[in-house]
Structure 1
C-alpha cells in the first residue's frame, strides 16, 4: 500500500478548503462573542468515564478507545465536544448563574455519519448552562440559524421536535418503555410497518399515538393536529406549547414541526432542533436541551446548545473568501524591504515573488502590487486579477 494513502473517510484539508474553514471559524466565534459566549478548548483525549458521561450508547460506539501508557486506564479520543463542555461548566467553572460557552475543534469518529462524510468533523458549537426557561432554547436556536447565514446559507429549514412527547408515551406504558430503543429507531427512520409491529400489543391509546408521530410533520399548524391526535397528557401538552413558542421565535428560516425527528433523543431532555438546506440530505446543525448530561459530574443543571460540522458547511457554502493581497517583486532594495515590512505590520498580506517565479498565488486575490515610482515604492491597483 502506498504510504501516502489515508484511512477511509479521512482526508487532508487543502488550501482552498482550509481558507474557507478558517474564515468561517473566525466569523462564527466572533458572532458567538457578540452574544456573550466564552471560548473553551477541551483536550482531544480524556478518560472514558469522563468523556462519555451519560450521553448514551451511540456516542460510545462512535468513540475511538485506547489505553493510557502512563496510568493503564482506558481513554478515548473525543467524538463530541458537548459532554466535555458540560464537564467544564459543572466541575471546573462551577458558577452559580448562567454560563455561556463556545468551542471549535476537530473530533474523531469511528464511523462516518453519511456515505461521503468525514470521520474527522470540525465541530463548532455553543452551549448555555444554568437557565431552564425556553428563552435559552430560543437563543441557541437563533444563534444556529445566524451561524449558517454567516456562511451564506440563508435558505434553510428549521425542524423542531421534543423529547418530552415520546417520554410521556413511554411513561404511560411499561411495555413501550421496555422496547424504547426499537421504537426510537423506527420513529427516527419513519419506518411505519416496523412501528405497527412494535405497537401491536400496546394499549390502544399509546399504540395509536406512536403510530401517529411520523405523520405529524409540517408547518407550525401541525401542532393543533397533534393536540387532537395525541393523548391529553400534561407532559405532551407542555411539550407542544414549548414547540409553539420556539416556532414563533425563529427568524431567518422556514419552520417545520417533525415529532418523529428524534435523532439524539437518548441524549436530549426537551426541545430539539435540526437545520437543513436544499440539496443536503443530512442536518447542517443540531441542538436542543440536555439537562441531565452533567449529572455524572456531580452537578446536574439546565443546559441547552447546538453544534455543527464546519467542514460540511464549508463544502456547500457559496462564500469564496479570497483574501486581498499585495504582490511585490523580488529584490534586495532596502527601501523595498522596509516598505514590505511596514505593510505587513499594518496587517496587509504581502506576497513577494521569488527569483524565477513571478506567478501570483492561487489562494489570494493579489489585486494590488508594489511598484517603484520616482524612487518610492507605492501600492497601486493591479490589472488583470479576479
Structure 2
C-alpha cells in the first residue's frame, strides 16, 4: 500500500476548501461573541469514562479508544464536543449565573455518519447553561439560523420535535417503559408494523397515541392535529406549547416543519429538539436541542441547550471561493522594497514575492497588481496588470 494513502473517509483539506472553512469558522465565532458566547477549547482526548458520561450508546460506538501509556487507563478521542463543554460548565467554571459557551474543533468518528461523510468533522457550536425557560431554546435556535445566514443560506427548513411527548406516554404505561429502546428505534424509522407488534398489549390510550406519532409530521398545523389525537397529559400539553412557541419565533426566517417521531438523539436530549436543512444536502446541517441531564453526571445539574454543525460539510455546499486579489513583488533585500511591502501588508493587502527563476502561476491568489520601480528608479509604485 502506498504510504501516502489515508484511511477511508479521512481526507486532506486543500487550499481553496480550507479557505472557505476557515472564513466560515471566523464569521461564526465572531457572531457567537456578539451574542455573549465565550470560546472554550476542550482537549482532543480524555479518560473514556469522562468522555462518555451522560452520552448515549451511539456516542460509545462512535468513539475511538486507546490505552494511555502513562496511566494505563482507557482514553477516548472525542466524537462530539457537547459533553466536554457541559463538563467545563459544571466542573470547572461552576458559575451560578447563565453561562454561554462556544467551541470549534475537529472530532473523530469510528464510522462515517453518512455515505460520503467524513470521519473527521470540524464541529462548531454554541451552548447555554443555567436557564430552564424557553427563552434559552429560542436564542439557540435564532443563533443557529443566523449561522446559516452568515454562510449565505436563506432557503432553510427548520424541523422541530420534542422528546416530552414520548416520555409522557411512557410514564403512563409500565409495559411501554420496558420497551423504550425498541419503541424509539421503530418511531425513528417510522416502522408502523413493528410499532403495531410492540404495542399490542399496551393500554389502548397509549397504544393509539404511539401509532399516531409516525403520521404527525408536516407544517405547523400538525400541532393542532396532535392536540386532537394525543391524550391530554400535562407533559404532552407542555411539549406541544413549547413547539408552537419555537415555530412562531422562526416564522419569516425558515420554513417550519413538525415531526413528532423524529427522535434522533432521544437518549441524550431532554426537551425540544431541532434540525436545520438546506438545499443540496439530504441530511441535517445543524442539530440542536435541550439536554438538561448531562451536567448531573459531572456533579452539578444545570439546564442546558445548544446546537452544533460540521463546517466541512457545510463548506462543501458553497461555491468555490473567488481568488484573492493580490500584489506581485520582486524578490530583493533593498530596504525601500521591504518597507513598501511591509506597509502594504499592514494595510491588509496580500503581497507575494516571486522566487527567482519561478513563474507566477498561483491557484488561490490572483495577482492583479505588481510592485515596480517608477520611471526614475527611485520609488516603488503599484502597477495594474489588467
Q: 1:318 is matched with which residue? A: 319
Q: Distance in 2 between matches of 1:286 and 1:334?
A: 54
* Native 8 Å contact 1:152 1:318 kept in 2: no
The residue that corresponds to 1:158 in the other structure is: 158
1:284 aligns with 2:285: yes
Deviation at 1:98, TM superposition (A): 0.4
| Counterpart position of 2:73 | 73
- The match for 1:381 is 384
TM-score relative to the length of structure 2: 0.96
Instruction: Supply the distance in 2 between the matched residues of 1:281 and 1:55 (Cα, whole angstroms).
Output: 25
Q: CA deviation at 1:153?
A: 1.4
Segments of 5+ residues of structure 1 without an aligned counterpart are none
The separation in 1 between residues aligned to 2:203 and 2:262, in whole angstroms, is 23
TM-score (norm 1): 0.96
Q: SS where residue 109 of structure 2 aligns?
A: coil
Residue 173 of structure 2 aligns with which residue?
A: 173
Partner of 1:261: 262
Question: Could you list the per-position Cα deviations for residues 85-115 of structure 1 after superposition, in whole angstroms to 9, with x for gaps in the alignment?
Answer: 0000001000000000000000001111001
Q: For residues 322 and 27 of structure 1, do their structure 2 counterparts lie closer, same or farther at Cα, with a shift above 3 Å needed?
A: farther
**SS in structure 1 of the partner of residue 281 of structure 2:** coil
Helix, strand or coil: the match of 2:239? helix
Query: Within 1, Cα distance between the matches of 2:382 and 2:188?
Result: 59
Deviation at 1:332, TM superposition (A): 4.3
| Conserved? CA contact 1:327–1:353, under 8 Å | yes
Q: Distance in 1 between matches of 2:130 and 2:383?
A: 54
The equivalent residue for 2:88 is 88
Aligned residues: 383
Task: Please identify, of 346-355 and 127-136, the stretch whose mean Cα deviation from structure 2 is larger.
Answer: 346-355
> 2:118 maps to which residue?
118
Structure 2 gap segments, 5+ residues each? none
Structure 1: distance between partners of 2:383 and 2:248: 51
1:131 matched to 2:131: yes
CA RMSD of aligned residues (A): 1.4
Whether the aligned pair in 2 keeps the contact of 1:285 and 1:308 (CA below 8 Å) is yes
Residue 348 (structure 1) aligns with: 349
Q: Quick check: 2:371–2:383 contact (8 Å CA) kept in 1?
A: yes
1:295-334 counterparts in 2 under 5 A? 295-318=296-319, 320=321, 322-334=323-335
3-state secondary structure, aligned to 1:6: coil
Which residue number corresponds to residue 148 of structure 1? Answer: 148
CA distance in 1, matches of 2:166, 2:319: 38
Q: CA deviation at 1:321?
A: 5.1
Q: Could you tell me how far 1:155 is from its partner in structure 2?
A: 0.7
